[in-house]
């Protein structure tokens, strides 16, 4: 079992962002809000990876 971290928009919960030219700034693809990296929510998710041939 591994732990991964997902960044989420605090306004809409979206997880898709575009990095802006300004350092440490992101734009939410859903609500269009510009967010500093410290404003993003972090969600921990446990995943199990199984590799098969």
pLDDT per position as a tens digit, 11-42: 999 999 999 998 899 999 999 999 999 999 99
Q: Is 36 exposed, middle or buried (0-12, 13-18, 19+ CB in 10 A)?
A: exposed
- Residue 40 within a domain: yes
- Residue 53 within a domain: no
Q: Residue 23: what pLDDT?
A: 86
Give the residue among 43, 47, 45 at the shortest CA–CA distance from 7. 43
DSSP strands (E only) in the chain: 2-8, 17-19, 25-28, 34-36, 41-47
Total-model pTM: 0.72
- Residue 7 within a domain: yes
- Residue 24 within a domain: yes
Owning domain of residue 39: 2-47
- Residue 8 within a domain: yes
- Residue 52 within a domain: no
């Amino acid at each position: 079992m591994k732990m991964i971290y997902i960044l989420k928009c605090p306004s809409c919960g979206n997880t898709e962002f575009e990095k802006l030219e300004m350092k440490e700034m992101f734009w939410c693809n859903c609500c269009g809000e510009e967010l500093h990296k410290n404003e993003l929510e972090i969600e921990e998710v446990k995943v199990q990876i199984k590799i098969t041939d």
